[in-house]
Amino acid sequence: MAETPAETDRQTNSAAAPSTGRISARGHVLVADDDRSIRMLIAKILSKAGYSVTQAETGAQVIPLMNSKRADLVLLDIEMPGMDGLQTLRVLKRNPSTQHIPVMMLSAHLSGTYVKECVDLGADDFIVKQSMQPQRLVERIHRAMQAKASEAKPTPQPEELANEPAIDQAAWTRKMADIGRSNTEVTRESLNATSIPMIFPAICDEVCLIANAQPADDLKLTLAIEQEPAIILPLMKAAGLFQTHTNKKTLDVKTLVGQLRQADIASLSRGVLSQYEAASGGLRSWMLRWWRHALAVSRIAAELAPAVGLSPATARTAGMIHDIGRLLLLRSEFGAKVVSVYDLARNMIIPTVYAEQTLLGMNHKQIGLELCRRYAVPEELANICETHDYDDEQRERLDEDSRTLSAVVCAANTLAKATGYGSLPNDELPPLPRIMAEPATQARDQIDDALAETANLFQQRIASESIDVSWPVVTLSNIRITFIRPSTSGYAYLQALEKAGATATISTDIESAALSSSQHDVAVLDYTDTNVAPVAATLEAMTQGSPMSRIPMLLLARRSDDAEDLLEEIELPIHVYATPIRVNSLLQSVVRLSQDKQG
């Protein structure tokens, strides 16, 4: 049986300092290699030289270890099972809280391709195991740590470099897309609502029970149907059949229930229930996560809708079906592959949606839109499958009604992720749409109530099932944050920080924050919807003797602003995280910066 990092630490007394809380004065090194003999050899060499050592046998173990134990340098084997060294390196260099920590790559053989890729990804050195000499290893680690302390970056010194051509990213992307397209037709053939899994058969039973009641309670029937997407689409199609003599459009479940006879609803629901097949444990866990996310989005969208003149019922229905293509993908023959790609990409820079596109040749948004069209869902509602993650610029090209619905569902989607109700682990968090920033701030209490309702419904449905739907959560208890945002509206990043337990003091300008920030651990500057360039001079002034200059600062910025280059030009010691932002990475960054201040 493979040993855990803790077990290998205990077997090497000299490498056990991190587990006892004693960190060597010379430094703390994390060694990741699936070869136990290599790990033990390096641990022995480094502990003899005065370093403390933590060991990991896979890349996947490195990420949580770096979050829980401070390492001054990482020695990372390239070839490891599962999450290999290159993938792990991407994660470390993508996260602002770990991107400045030196990483030295280990390999069993010299390869110009490996060396170039490691350097391009941000590695600080490249070591060949066969030629590794104890004294030389210690010297290179010492040099890398010194370079970090002086904010300089060591030059990789492999014994030789082969002349390798640059990777053609465009050609690689085209090749992956071509592979995916070979499965497109098979994927399209699966576009059938009966193949959408019943996540909770109990909901279908509830729909049948209410529909058979005399008289039926339309409100209860509407609420029950809204909890199960596998029922919504067939009922919308049935309602469409009754529209042949009227121009009235069905935009929400409430209207749909009013148009259908109770017997029709019960019959259709029983038909959906007959298609139910229990999914495997891994896929079922993903389906449950998706269901909770969709339910949270639908509830939040209903709370936000009145502020912009939209029907809560329409917004609730749009929130429930906005991601329905993903649920269908999970049920397709490619479902297990999709999940494996997601799990591999969850801590990597590769966006999970892009991984899905690469695998299938068509993304979940296209699948959801086509499915809705097949089931006669009105176009303005079906389009939400494609527009729910539009940015403000894309949204401006839509008509007014579509633009408003897109903004509401996008805001609900973002807020659900910020509070831990994402459909994927470690979801990316885009900025809120401009039109929804103020309504979201005003509706905070209602949104919290909606999320509490979602949590209660979810617990009721899974009370009898032992399915793990949790994902890593970073705690910010006892961390005090100065949160600076030029606009008084806006809510997603602050909500994520507060939900993690941080205590936040909110300011709208840097000058006022600087006067009261001496007692805080971290300053978070949210400029995700504002250009950073005009405030660069003010930021520079804040580093010249103000109380704020004594605490770590994290700037959240639009990727298009090139904020990191701007700050580098004026030599500001501020960490930058550009959108889209991963929730857990944001929280990890705050924890790391807080530790930096304490250190």
For residues 497 and 418, the answer to whether their CB atoms sit within 8 Å is no
Per-residue pLDDT of 253-284, as tens digits, reads 888 888 888 888 888 888 887 777 656 666 77
Residue 545 backbone class (left: φ over 0; alpha: ψ -120 to 50; beta: rest):
left
pLDDT at 11: 36
Q: Which residues have a Cβ under 8 Å from the Cβ of 36 and sit 6 or more positions away? A: 3, 8, 57
- For 368, half-sphere exposure in the C-beta direction (CA atoms, 13 angstrom radius) is 24
What pTM was computed for the model? 0.70
Whether pLDDT at 574 is above 50 = yes
Range 546-568 average pLDDT:
77
Nearest Cα neighbor of 127 from 110, 143, 145 is: 110
For residues 337 and 359, the answer to whether their CB atoms sit within 8 Å is yes
β-sheet with 52-56: strand ranges across: 52-56, 28-32, 73-77, 103-107, 125-128
E strand or H helix that includes residue 367? helix 364-374
Per-residue pLDDT of 506-530, as tens digits, reads 888 777 776 666 678 898 988 887 7
Burial label, 93 (beta-carbon count in 10 A; 0-12, 13-18, 19+):
middle
Please provide the size of the chain in residues: 599
The answer to which of 56-60, 141-145, 276-280, 411-415 has the lowest mean pLDDT is 276-280
pLDDT at 552: 86
- What is the distance between the alpha carbons of residues 53 and 47, in angstroms, rounded to a whole number? 7
pLDDT at 310: 93
Range 355-370 average pLDDT:
67
For residues 15 and 47, the answer to whether their CB atoms sit within 8 Å is yes
Nearest Cα neighbor of 554 from 567, 538, 545, 541 is: 567
- The structure tokens listed for 150 are 């002086």
Nearest Cα neighbor of 414 from 324, 304, 327 is: 304
- Asked if omega into 165 is within 30° of 0 (cis), the reply is no
pLDDT at 169: 47
Q: What DSSP string describes 74-99?
A: EEEES--SSS-HHHHHHHHHHSTTTT
- CA-based max dimension of the chain: 87
Q: Which residues have a Cβ under 8 Å from the Cβ of 310 and sit 6 or more positions away? A: 404, 405, 408
Q: Which residues have a Cβ under 8 Å from the Cβ of 546 and sit 6 or more positions away? A: 514, 515
Instruction: State the pLDDT confidence band at 416, using cuts at 50, 70 and 90.
Output: very high
Nearest Cα neighbor of 572 from 542, 546, 596 is: 542
pLDDT at 565: 74
Nearest Cα neighbor of 529 from 559, 505, 509, 553 is: 559
- What is the distance between the alpha carbons of residues 548 and 528, in angstroms, rounded to a whole number? 21
559 phi and psi angles, rounded to 5 deg: -60, -35
Q: In three state form, how does the secondary structure of 490-537 look?
A: CCHHHHHHHHCCCEEEEECCHHHHHHCCCCCCEEEEEECCCCCHHHHH
- What is the distance between the alpha carbons of residues 18 and 535, in angstroms, rounded to a whole number? 41
- Domains of the chain, earliest start first: 5-149 (3.40.50.2300), 168-195+280-464 (1.10.3210.10), 198-276 (no CATH), 480-598 (3.40.50.2300)
The SS3 of residue 199 is coil
Whether pLDDT at 157 is above 60 = no
569 or 414: which leads in pLDDT: 414
pLDDT at 135: 87
- What is the distance between the alpha carbons of residues 387 and 221, in angstroms, rounded to a whole number? 28
- Residue-wise over 323-350: b if at least 16 C-beta within 10 A, else e? bbbbbbbbbbebbeebbebbbbbbbbeb
Fill in the DSSP letter of residue 571: T
Helix axes 229-241, 201-212, angle to 10 degrees: 40
- What is the distance between the alpha carbons of residues 294 and 238, in angstroms, rounded to a whole number? 23
Burial label, 593 (beta-carbon count in 10 A; 0-12, 13-18, 19+):
buried
pLDDT at 8: 38
Range 67-78 average pLDDT:
84
Per-residue pLDDT of 383-410, as tens digits, reads 999 999 898 889 999 999 999 999 999 9
Per-residue pLDDT of 177-230, as tens digits, reads 554 555 556 666 767 777 777 888 888 889 999 988 888 888 899 989 988 888
Whether pLDDT at 337 is above 70 = no
For residues 415 and 492, the answer to whether their CB atoms sit within 8 Å is yes
Torsion of CA 460, 371, 415, 488, to 10 degrees: -150
Which residue is associated with the tokens 């839509």? Answer: 398
H and E: helices and strands count for the chain: 31, 12
The SS3 of residue 596 is helix
